[in-house]
Structure 1
Amino acid sequence: MKFIRCLRAIAVVLSIQMLLASLIGCDSGQSDNREVDERMAEKIPYEFKVAETYKNPMEIAGQHGVCQYTAGKEYGIGDPFVMRYNGKYYLYPSSCENKVKVFESTDLVNWEYKGYVTEGSDVYFAYAPEVVYYDGMFYMTTSPEGKGHYILKSESPLGPFKRITDNFGHVIDGSFWIDDDDRLLFIFPEASIIKAAEIDTKTMLPVAKRTHFNATLKGWTEGPGIFRRGEYHYLTYTGNHVLSRGYRVAYSYTKGNNPLGQYIMPEDNILYIRSEHDDEYTGLGHSSNVIGPDLDSIYAPYHNLVGLAGPQRRYCLDRLLTNGSVVYSTGPTSFDVPIPAMPEIYGWLDDPKDTAAEKHFVINDDGVTSKNEVQDVFTAEYNFRLDGSEKSPVDLKFGIKGASWWAVRVDTEKNTLSLLSVEDGNEKTIASEKIHVSHGYTRLCTVRVENTAAVSYIYFNSARKLTVKNAGITGGKIGASGKGVTFGYIGANSDALGSGDYDAVKNIPGKFAAMHYIKGENRGFNISKAALKPEGIRYGEKENSILNKDGSYSLVLDTPGDYVVYPVNVSNDGMYSVGAKLAPESSGAVYELIMDGDTEQTYRFTVPETEGVKTDNVSVNLGTLPLKAGFHTMTLRLLKGEMKINMFEFYSSAKEPWAYKSVFKINEDRKDWIFYGPWRMSSGKLTIGEGNSGFALIGETGMNDYVIEADVDIPRKGAGDSGLMFRVTNPSIMEHQVRESFIGYGISIGDGSITLSKYNYGKIGNSQIVSIKEIKGSDKVKLKVVVSNNIFRIYINDQEKPVLEYMDAQAWLHGKVGFYSFGKELTVNNLSVVSIDNEK
């Protein structure tokens, strides 16, 4: 393989800014529009408040150590399940012995080992233990050695848990969910899909009726878990084999209050995967989902693979963010990121050693009241139990301003949950609902309030019991009162239904929603046509947005000078490509990305033309810019036209424009190739025989636009298909997973036809098949593939007109080049790959 670095001399001479302007389609420098610049002059400075950071993967004191199966190394933390109870977190990992361990934390990062929670060998090698707090008791499910499930019971999250059922099957990785009717659901994998059944609480066994979710990774699928936000339930799950580098986490979603509803599985639904050959941080999977310490965020604990024996794994954590129906992650990260934040007001009132309660609350005979206030958009959580002496109402207050407030009243005698407004001592009941408690409220009860101007949700013990629209609840202090009651953790924060996602740091490389910019007019945005939208996503703030058909929201900037600001965390110094999903009518818009408000770090882009596309959003590459490691602000400012933008994706770009040529001489070329499977390079040919599967890859994952030329023998022997592949990322190969284990595109070559297919660990969408009489009965074909942004053109035998031209509206935007075989022979005689920038 000969590497032709055409522009090395230029790169030495030119500055980064000139290189950007002349080569990669963006300018740097200050705007020449005075009115546009004057709007930026009003901007309120944004300061990062990142006190502490952590880095994946993490070593946790007390994690499982060496056992007979781990080749002398620590088993660590695998399949981490985390539950929240009374303001604290409890981590239950898979076991490599006959007991299950537990760890406790207040921030999801700093864990204290609390010992074993089970007693006997009936949980030997307990796979994926999960725990739910249901009607005053703790229930654990686990599948020892993956051979069916048991349920165990305890009065404490620290155990001891004792087995209460026999093995009821369902193989592996059971999970719990409580619906709004207080039904306890059991979620489990079976035959490569996720299913669910209600648990009969008399026997604690799943009933016979099954619900099949639209959730599969087209092979081994496991590790299900549900979380909820607003109008949506989201189901996450893991696929591939646990020993695969391509182990990964994906999601499906359903809209509405029914967690057993009709789930939709997006085409681009991968939350965690990293399987590149030179990456040590791989095998990411088996996540759980939990509300963060700030009461609004959602975090996903998961593990990575560090050794095949055992297997050995470590604890990892990243944040999940939502944009309507869409879920995305701030990870996977393996660099310093912020530790999850605590809420503005919190404390454990049942712990005399807790200093937070004294700091945040005033406690007297009338109850407890916070010293500070939260804003009109807020989430509050209250935990309490009765001492059993009497059944009296418990009032959980918010919006306290003098003699007026709002409250959730738990009537422990009538078993009702009510929303009240109190104004100068006059009570008014807004809504009320029956609740079920079998323990007389002597076990901990939890009430959660999520409030925005448009809707207020009130939960009792995980079940959503009240939904009140336009209640008019305002911010203020929070508090609680009642007789014969002990209050546990109480907390509140000025975020609800994911509004904390706006100020959340967006990690680069990574993707983030355009609507998730910093809060506050002139602090995080200045949009001329922004207005309060009750049906919008920016709760309590003005916005200019549109709702897409898929249920996600897009940002609209349509006046020159409109801008939004994002907090970003860049992993390393380097050049980064910018991809985006935006509306076709954004074509031709001119905008800038400004780093840290610095005119010397201002980069101008023009949105490429996208013709004839009838879809809400189309994926495009926008250009490249240099970024420095660390925390920064990134301002998106419109200069010309209109932008309707849904998502950004930043990824490390190829180091410089390049060209590759190969005639497959092993002494010259072999070192530059990555082979998955039994490929041979000899006598000027690259070959793989029939009956084999694998990939042969060249280049960098940051490559995007290029021209590929290859002479290929038309394959005839073997079942399956083989051919050329491009825009390839995250390949892996293992016998216990789908054979098409990569993300990217493949062009299979047949006798008289060519087929273009899209892959995301298995084919997705509709393949494009073209019959070509010129190659029917031929032995060879010369392929030329032009990969330009989201348009792919395929030519044969030096013909001027492409045999196939295809525009993928949701294109994969970058990746390596190579060849593949899924059981069919393939012989390649030579290869040329030239970047389109280099070709120019």
Structure 2
Amino acid sequence: MKSLRWLIMVAVTFSLITTVPTETSAYQNPRALPDEWGQYGLGDPYVLKFNGYYYLYVSTRDTDDGVKVWSSKDLVNWSYRGLAATDPITHGAYAPEVVYWNGMFYMYTSPAGQGHYVLSSTSPTGPFNVVTGNLGKTIDGHVFIDDDGSFSFYHAGQGRIDAAPMSSPTSIGASSSTGVGMGGWTEGATVFKRNGKYYMTYTGNHVFSKGYRVDYAVSTTGPRSGYAADSLNPALISTEGPTVGLGHNTVVVGPNLDTHYIVYHNLEGPGVVGPLRHLNMDRIVWNNDKMIVQGPTTTPQQDPAMPTFYDYFDRTSIGSGWTNVNGGHWGIYNQELMWQDSIGDTTWYKQISSATSSSDYTAEFNTKEMKRGTSASPRYGATFSYTDENNYGVALLSSKNNRLATSFRINGVDQAWQTFDLPAGFDYTKWHSIRIEKSGTTFKYYVDGMLKGTRTANLGGGKIGVLTEDTHADFGYVAVSNDVNGSSAWDAYKPVPGTIEAVHYMKGGEGVAYHDTTANNIGGAYRTDAGDIRLNSEGLFNLGWNQTGEWYKYKVNVESSGYYDIDFRMATTMNGVQIRLWDGSTDVTGIIDVPNTGDWDKWQTVTKKGVYLNAGQRELRVEFVKGEADFSRMTFHKSAQVTALSDDFNDGNDNGWTRFEGTWAVENGEYSAGSSGPAKSTIGDANWADYTVEADVKMIDAGGDGGLLFRVSNPSHGTERGQNNYDAFQGYYAYLTTSGVNLGKMSYSWTFIKSAPQTYATNTWYHMKVVAQGTNIKVYVDDMNQPKIDYTDNSLNPFTHGKAGVRTANKHTHFDNFKVSP
């Protein structure tokens, strides 16, 4: 594979050591809230974070005026704060969103879909007053502020999301397409930036569809163009089960300052007026630049973690959590902020927190200037990585120079100042946030969410604090978390069923979180401990160089006790590699053979079926026993035994089948589908894995296609309410045309896989059979000994579980003698 890879044959074992740590507090989707709109609920949720608090806004019931708002410290416990806006213009206010800029909160909403208005307030809870006329732009307005302070406005469009530049928070320019969409109606855009890339989530195609879902796209060129949809879309979907119709989300950073959460609604059904929807939230994790939603979940999940240290100053005195350095005149105001009002000299008056961070961390500070002195450099802001007066960093706001000033003191030696300009007109008498992200020796500086600069320094962890220089300043919410750039995923309890990235093993170091026979990360990627990690050809970080006796431990939250199938993503050039799963001292799987994939970057999915897991929060340990193989991820599915079924339709009905698009009927003992578009019907269990499905197929028309569905999950009606989606399910489709047999893959989009040319006549019966074993698919027509298509899906997202069914598109097709067998 690479020069550092051992060439010796080593033993590899996977083992799951199951422990049951203390249960953490848990929330559960979906959620109703006090004072929500009756028979309308909590549709189109938007969450704003400001000064340590979260504010939730939702769409207004079509018959009412006003925009409701709730607040929370933790994204779980919400308090109703009343109507943030009451102006008649908010009658049936769709998808209200609020941004903070320079002391003012701006609300964007589209009342009953009749264009957009902007309202403003000095408080996130209002009152908001109308400050513009009708600005148009369809529905679902969203505003993104880039690192340079420029604004962009996004809104829904037919088949796409459009965007426009903004010259001010209340002025929107001409719109153009962002280049992303979902075929039919597309709405509910949210844009955020991470590691220099722009991420957009968006929803389609109709709010009343069970197939309402979230996709995402990424741009490296700018906030309004250059987007490419992710290959694994949808990012969030559920069309069957406890929650359906998931979408119109926001993405917000959780209280631990590091974890992203997706907040969205589910469709309960029609309310008195409009759809009845409720609130949902799931964790987002990252592998390299890949955004992975750990959901949807409907069972209890770990509450969002709070920071390592945080302070709202919601008391009457500063207290023992802070230590004063160099004096000054400090106090607490109204149980909501800490102040320092001594000016007239250049002493750095400091308050240093009692808590010490780890070497990597994220810190947040909220502050505003009340009065500045007349010295050359009145400043105020944050200190971090503070161990003593000889070792620390600072990030200070300077209203006099309209910039952020940064410096370090290391071993008593002051490093050079580096400054970063802030937007023109920045009002320092208003609240602003400073965010510090430290990873290794790299420090990133944000002001009001805008990345303003990056520096390096040989400082470790330490305490955080606030300081002033010749400035009367107020300080609001202050916090620090021992996570940065998504590292909170490592100790989070990941939901099972679900996918767990191999590199998301827990924290704790050698002998606790993992055992590795080398002292350093051989691949040098992603983590700074001794786990050996590299970036692979699929764009993901994976564990490599795994040696005999090495192991990695993962925190999981198992939905319910029972049997699960586990897909391991593996690559190896060696023969005879074996893995095994343990639960405590019990071997729960026996030996699992991992095939030689032919290259370290040729990945295959290896499945072990029927693994019994106990419910609740667990720690699963993965250990290597024989051979060497790279390990990328593991996906847990609920396991279900395939039960044989057959239907010759001689009873005149299709009981047990679920029809979707098209016109279906049982005619003369045959299952008939006719459609000018798609038509599908499914049967069976979404947790089925390996099986054979077969049927007789007769094409009545010359155009279009017809055939068998297998491994189907999340099916929905793709053409109702004008959605125009021919591919409304996830799974495979083996089908006939008059010119051949073909295989394709659908995930609310179409991927053609393979074909075998041959002439097939209309009004003629052909017997089709598909054998799906693991990721291998064989398609037979008439000759049941020689497959027309033999294909193994080694892609990153093979479908290994799902129902069976039949489908046709733009064709009248008959089916008979349908059969599924294990």
TM-score by length of 2: 0.89
Selected match of 1:450 from 432, 437, 449: 437
Give a deviation string over 1:406-429, Cα, whole Å, max 9, x none.
111222211221221124665323
Check the 8 A contact 1:725/1:745 in 2, yes or no. yes
| Rounded Cα–Cα distance in structure 2 between residues aligned with 1:345 and 1:377 | 14
Distance 1:263-1:80 versus aligned 2 partners, 3 A rule: same
Matched residue, 2:5? none
| Rounded Cα–Cα distance in structure 1 between residues aligned with 2:405 and 2:36 | 44
| Rounded Cα–Cα distance in structure 2 between residues aligned with 1:384 and 1:234 | 28
Matched residue, 1:361? 322
Matched, 1:244 2:230: no
Give a deviation string over 1:472-522, Cα, whole Å, max 9, x none.
231011100113001000000111001111111110111121111101222
Matched, 1:592 2:558: no
Structure 2 residue ranges without an equivalent (≥5): 1-8, 329-348
Matched residue, 2:399? 412
- Partner amino acid, structure 2, of 1:122: I
Matched, 1:352 2:319: no
Give the RMSD, CA atoms, in angstroms.
2.8
| Rounded Cα–Cα distance in structure 2 between residues aligned with 1:785 and 1:290 | 44
Give a deviation string over 1:246-290, Cα, whole Å, max 9, x none.
11112122347x4346333222122221112xx231111111000
Q: What pairs up with 1:701-716 in 2 under 5 angstroms?
A: 701-716=686-701
Selected match of 1:807 from 784, 792, 805: 792
Matched residue, 2:740? 753
Matched residue, 2:566? 578
Q: Secondary structure at the match of 2:40?
A: strand
Selected match of 1:284 from 234, 243, 246: 246
Range with greater deviation from structure 2 (572-581 or 377-386)? 572-581
Matched residue, 1:422? 409
* Cα deviation, residue 238, structure 1: 1.2
* Cα deviation, residue 821, structure 1: 2.7
Matched residue, 1:506? 494
Matched residue, 2:369? 386
Matched, 1:629 2:615: yes
Check the 8 A contact 2:159/2:182 in 1, yes or no. yes
Range with greater deviation from structure 2 (74-83 or 129-138)? 129-138
| Rounded Cα–Cα distance in structure 2 between residues aligned with 1:767 and 1:36 | 34
Distance 1:187-1:472 versus aligned 2 partners, 3 A rule: farther
Larger fraction in helix: 1
Check the 8 A contact 1:241/1:247 in 2, yes or no. yes
Matched residue, 2:657? 673
| Rounded Cα–Cα distance in structure 2 between residues aligned with 1:504 and 1:107 | 16
Selected match of 2:30 from 33, 36, 57: 57
Check the 8 A contact 2:12/2:579 in 1, yes or no. no
Q: Secondary structure at the match of 2:257?
A: coil
Identical pairs, percent? 31
Matched residue, 2:239? 275
| Rounded Cα–Cα distance in structure 2 between residues aligned with 1:264 and 1:701 | 30
Check the 8 A contact 2:580/2:587 in 1, yes or no. no
* Cα deviation, residue 755, structure 1: 2.2
Matched residue, 1:342? 306
Check the 8 A contact 2:776/2:790 in 1, yes or no. yes
Q: What pairs up with 1:608-757 in 2 under 5 angstroms?
A: 608-609=594-595, 616-654=602-640, 656-666=641-651, 670-677=654-661, 678-681=663-666, 683-691=668-676, 693-716=678-701, 720-733=704-717, 734-737=720-723, 738-757=725-744
Matched residue, 2:479? 491
Check the 8 A contact 2:698/2:766 in 1, yes or no. yes
Matched residue, 1:18? none
How many aligned positions are there?
Answer: 775
Matched, 1:199 2:166: yes
Distance 1:716-1:187 versus aligned 2 partners, 3 A rule: same
Distance 1:49-1:152 versus aligned 2 partners, 3 A rule: farther
* Cα deviation, residue 661, structure 1: 2.5
Q: What pairs up with 1:140-179 in 2 under 5 angstroms?
A: 140-179=107-146
Check the 8 A contact 1:369/1:479 in 2, yes or no. yes
Q: Secondary structure at the match of 2:136?
A: coil
Give a deviation string over 1:315-348, Cα, whole Å, max 9, x none.
1111101111211122111111111111011011
Give a deviation string over 1:516-563, Cα, whole Å, max 9, x none.
11012221111224624796212x423311212453211225212221
| Rounded Cα–Cα distance in structure 2 between residues aligned with 1:86 and 1:492 | 14
Matched, 1:531 2:496: no
Distance 1:604-1:231 versus aligned 2 partners, 3 A rule: farther
Give a deviation string over 1:432-471, Cα, whole Å, max 9, x none.
2111363541100100001111532110111100122x42
Matched residue, 1:400? 386
TM-score by length of 1: 0.87
Selected match of 2:462 from 457, 470, 476: 476
| Rounded Cα–Cα distance in structure 2 between residues aligned with 1:739 and 1:168 | 34
Matched residue, 1:110? 77
Range with greater deviation from structure 2 (389-398 or 81-90)? 389-398
Check the 8 A contact 1:253/1:325 in 2, yes or no. no
Check the 8 A contact 2:573/2:597 in 1, yes or no. no
Distance 1:508-1:48 versus aligned 2 partners, 3 A rule: same
Check the 8 A contact 2:524/2:534 in 1, yes or no. no
Q: What pairs up with 1:10-25 in 2 under 5 angstroms?
A: none
* Cα deviation, residue 308, structure 1: 1.7
Range with greater deviation from structure 2 (693-702 or 494-503)? 693-702
Check the 8 A contact 2:677/2:726 in 1, yes or no. no
| Rounded Cα–Cα distance in structure 1 between residues aligned with 2:255 and 2:541 | 26
Q: What pairs up with 1:7-46 in 2 under 5 angstroms?
A: none
Matched, 1:235 2:196: no
Distance 1:185-1:509 versus aligned 2 partners, 3 A rule: same
Check the 8 A contact 1:571/1:629 in 2, yes or no. yes
* Cα deviation, residue 86, structure 1: 0.2
Distance 1:499-1:670 versus aligned 2 partners, 3 A rule: same
- Partner amino acid, structure 2, of 1:271: A
Selected match of 2:506 from 518, 530, 539: 518
Matched, 1:303 2:265: yes
Matched residue, 1:373? 356
